[in-house]
A and B are shown apart, each in its own frame.
Chain A
């Protein structure tokens, strides 16, 4: 019998904004107390700061939205929980409270104005464990030593309707590897797939991530705050995060009785795409279930054939239906959470990309324009893939005095992926005729316990144990990968020390993984079992130092590992979308990475520069290498690829800057440069992102007239150079030439009482340039997307 822990964390704050005797403009004082609601104890060292809300609204329009330059003032509460902020000007501010172990609470206040507010904060499941840095918090919060960026607010609204991989593309250091317009996977510092961990509401996403055409099974609408941690070392979430971590956090649950929600409508001209998403949340506030808070959320999305600058891409339509439900119940230091999400999609694969063999492939490359008919429709023909992904998460938190707590999390997820080739199988049996050629089902169960202790004197630590099990069932008409089962267990500890301007942190984790593979020999009708054991540590150590209020630096060193995935070990079969025959190697060893990163951040009101430098040395880096020995099958001759290991070195720089020329005009610039080197052959690594530069100008104002708030307009140029750093004879076609496209955005918000309507109109590639991107696998066959007009509306109530 499982016993559940329940926990509640809250604190109580009273804020009074008192006006000075004379209504001088900058002579107001905000003061108050912060208390732990449960124990009625004053909480010391809570960061309280205000940021200029109008400034933020304007800044959000820039591409540096993840690192705002704000007019801010901050302080910490004293031992009696008291804080006071003086010399505050009149205006609208966002006030935020931050404390380790508590989820940050922010809300809008108007100065002058007398307010008495009750706030309760929910425990933050990531606090201390995953390290989250972002602009707004970074200004006053000195916790983090790993490079991270955040996508939220207006910048997130401007990506609504796109898939997760596409949404993250605008962040410096990120790219996406694409298979046509609707399949997109995030790439962090040149690495992707199994090397990027994705956490959906704290649950480590476990799908069939290994295929480059297997996009993450996530609806980005579940989150209002997407954080990307660049670099290795995920102590809390386990192995594999050699490239980084993507965190999708749902908004904090409602803290006061009532009902609120959002409705999103997105329409795009390219693909004639429509997206509808809505969420509704509430707190009952009365009777037996008065402490129960709940949220339901759902998304519907549909698109037809997308179009390039000159022609339609036939059979690139998609349909998606997602929903999620969450509930939380808090009582006396106990908190229970329940989360369920369901994702299901059907995605057409571009008809022009279907090739039977190498001759068809070469014929397809040489065509200036694909042979497929140039027409629009919403229907999805073969070939297509369907994916269902369900996640159930239950978590219990017990909060002790101070910030100490115990957390128990349990999750179950099931991922079913079916892939249908363009041809039906040769059979007269209707069950076979309609069966997918490739079908995988992956079930994963994970559980963890975490104990966080605040030891005082600047020390805090967390300890955890984790366990997981996974089973994969393959049921295809063609062999591709075998069935497997694995059990994993691990333990970790994170220690942090903070004093004045310096933060030091270190973490250590040890994992054990038992991995058994069941291969069926069809001719002998026997099952062969192979068992693997992996035992590896993960470690990180880092420091942050704030030299002065406008300049700080993070340095971090981390080492992480990744066990070879099932395809790298055992794949054997045709990848039709690539017309290649892939062969795994069952003797591959784990990858080990040594990642060093340095982040320099300089912020002033006028000027903002962020430089992230990194070096990632990966031993036993696994990739598919051409064998130069073609495989002859009845359908023709295929180039074959075998998974091999090499020592690789990746390094680069993400540079972003913003200059606020005038109060209402900003210029911004972002560059991402990555270099990959294969040390064994002393040549470049294949499929590294090309150098990418985004430059733009944004105009913004506080308001126009009475009703229109935060109007903004931006123009930007995106220039991607040709990737010239590739080893010879490594690809079918040379990398495409560079391209330069223009995007524009215009938006505003119209508040009306408690409701607000945010509008955004975007034009992507408005000069309708025909181009091909090196990381899009369909560059072999067709151009990338042409002009796209997008209208987004978000209504909050």
Chain B
């Protein structure tokens, strides 16, 4: 009987060991596009040569390494009107993947919000077609960032709703602060307000108006 046990043991264990020759290394993942870069390109309506770009980059979007915000600064002139394009890129690929085009394809599901800070309590209004982010605390006292943002593009919902990839920035007196830009993903729920859906991107730029 001992012999039987031995034969069975050897047999089964060698079978066990010979199985599972599965590859230990991942098969290559099909190219997924990451959001790595969000740019604001501002063109002065009065002077098309007056262009400024602010760039927020995180080339490793899935790990806790901090993003590169050294170029996330927007310089604008006071008392001016700017046409602004928001550009989303995937710079993990070469050439960079254009996420903006995909957002345009799925424009009925996306809505951008722009929140200047510090702001006065009177400017915290949010609701349908407002660009403010609900819950933003107003500053107790000035100076405030004198920046107003309005979306200029519309999607194909019925009735059409704003998207925010194209915007009009109106500056006031000389001031500085931050601008928080949030891309909301609101599949089948977009209603012009902030609340439905989830956040795809949430980045912050320094803004100098001079």
Contact = CB atoms under 8 A, between A and B. Distances in A.
B9 A581 contact: no
B24 A471 contact: yes
Given A406-B5, A432-B31, A447-B12, A634 B38 contact: yes
Interface stretch (B160-168, B171-179, B192-200): B192-200
B180 to A, nearest CB: 10
Contacts of B38: 634
Interface in A619-651: 631-637, 640
B94 interface: no
Nearest to B106: A424
Contacts of B135: 359, 363
Contacts of A435: 30, 32
Contacts of A637: 202
A355 interface: yes
A711 B193 CA distance: 57
A354 B198 contact: yes
Interface stretch (A190-198, A279-287, A474-482): A474-482
A675 interface: no
Contacts of A479: 62-63
Given A359-B135, A422-B187, A471-B24, A5 B199 contact: no
Interface in B96-155: 97, 99, 102, 134-135
Contact of B25 (A447, A483, A574): A483
B84 interface: no
A445 interface: yes
B16 A469 contact: yes
B102 A518 contact: no
Contacts of B102: 426-428
Interface residues of A, number: 67
A1 B11 CA distance: 6
Contact of A634 (B15, B23, B67, B197): B67
A342 interface: no
Interface in B45-88: 56, 58, 60-64, 66-67
A1 B201 CA distance: 58
Interface residues of B, number: 57
Nearest to A470: B20
B17 A427 contact: no
B9 to A, nearest CB: 6
A410 interface: yes
Contacts of B66: 632
A471 B196 contact: no
A633 B9 contact: no
Interface in A391-435: 406, 408, 410, 412, 422-423, 425-429, 431-432, 435
A636 B182 CA distance: 9
A449 B8 contact: yes
Contacts of B33: 425-427, 432
A395 to B, nearest CB: 12
Contacts of A524: none
A2 B15 contact: yes
Nearest to A1: B11
- Residue from the set A363, A427, A572 with the largest chain B CB neighbour count within 10 Å: A427
A635 B9 contact: no
A473 B23 contact: yes
Interface string A345-381: 0000000001111011001000000010100000000
Nearest to B22: A471
Nearest to B103: A426
Contacts of B26: 473-475, 483, 518, 520
Given A354-B198, A363-B135, A445-B16, A634 B7 contact: no
A477 B187 contact: no
A250 interface: no
B61 A634 contact: yes
A636 B11 contact: no
A368 to B, nearest CB: 13
Contacts of A485: 20, 24
Contact of B22 (A449, A473, A640): A473
B30 A356 contact: no
Nearest to B58: A634
B29 A426 contact: no
A527 interface: yes
B63 A3 contact: no
A583 interface: yes
B98 to A, nearest CB: 10
Nearest to B59: A523
A202 interface: no
A443 B22 contact: yes
B56 to A, nearest CB: 8
B36 interface: yes
B185 A356 contact: yes
A426 B35 contact: yes
A467 interface: yes
Contacts of B15: 2, 447
Nearest to A517: B24
> Nearest 3 CB-CB pairs, A to B?
A356-B199, A356-B198, A636-B202
Given A427-B33, A636-B182, 5 more contacts: A356-B197, A373-B189, A432-B32, A465-B9, A516-B24
Interface of B: 1, 4-5, 7-9, 11-13, 15-17, 19-20, 22-27, 29-36, 38, 56, 58, 60-64, 66-67, 90, 97, 99, 102, 134-135, 182, 185, 187, 189, 195-203
12 contacts: A354-B198, A356-B202, A426-B32, A426-B33, A427-B32, A449-B12, A465-B9, A474-B26, A475-B26, A475-B29, A518-B25, A635-B200
Interface of A: 1-5, 354-357, 359-360, 363, 371, 373, 406, 408, 410, 412, 422-423, 425-429, 431-432, 435, 443, 445, 447, 449, 451, 465, 467-471, 473-479, 483, 485, 487, 516, 518, 520, 523, 527, 572-574, 581, 583, 631-637, 640
